[in-house]
């Protein structure tokens, strides 16, 4: 499955195999992680909520658009949800191409699109309370 929402951690080697063929010369991977700091607050954990069916459909649309827009060979887009601790993986985008240029461009573009379009929301559990992240805004959650 090349586009997935999942609770379990990523098997990156498996994602690489999914996009590799004998024609592949370069693979670019973006791996997002939960970091311990956000806007000056000490982060303990992220809770990702998703509109799962739509999220998968939107990732599939992004993958399809990437394959049309860039001369790449293949792409994997995986996103995790649920409770994720500092250091855990959150998102994985893998783009394979004959050459590296297009793989870099497609990977970067797809990560941006996922962050802009895929219905997933982050709640940051910090030392100063819990905040919903909505685009650039942070809103205190009860």
Q: How far is the CB of 13 from other proteins (least distance, A)?
A: 21
- Rounded CA-CA distance 18/130 in Å is 37
Q: Choose the one of its own copies, other proteins, none that binds residue 16, judging by a C-beta under 5 to 8 angstroms depending on kind.
A: its own copies
DSSP code string of 58-111: HHHHHHHHHHHHS--SEEEEEEE-EEEETT-EEEEEEEEESSHHHHHHHHHHHH
- Rounded CA-CA distance 43/35 in Å is 7
Q: How far is the CB of 47 from other proteins (least distance, A)?
A: 10
Residues within the interface to its own copies (CB under 8 A): 12-13, 16, 20, 22-33, 35-37, 86-87, 98, 100, 103-104, 107-108, 111
Residues that bind other proteins (CB under 8 A): 32, 48-51, 53-55, 57-58, 79, 90-91, 111, 114-123, 132-135, 137, 139, 141-142
């Amino acid at each position: 499955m090349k586009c997935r929402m999942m609770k379990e951690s990523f098997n990156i080697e498996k994602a690489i195999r999914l996009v590799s063929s004998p024609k592949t010369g370069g693979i670019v991977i973006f791996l997002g992680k939960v970091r311990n700091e956000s806007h000056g607050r000490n982060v303990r954990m992220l809770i990702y909520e998703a509109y799962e069916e739509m999220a998968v459909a939107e990732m599939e649309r992004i993958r399809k658009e990437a394959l049309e827009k860039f001369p790449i060979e293949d792409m994997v887009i995986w996103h995790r949800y649920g409770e994720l601790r500092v250091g855990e993986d959150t998102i994985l985008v893998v783009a394979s191409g004959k050459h590296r240029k297009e793989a870099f461009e497609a990977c970067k573009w797809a990560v941006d699109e996922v962050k802009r379009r895929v219905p997933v929301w982050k709640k940051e559990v910090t030392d100063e309370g819990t905040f919903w992240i909505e685009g650039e805004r942070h809103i205190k959650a009860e």
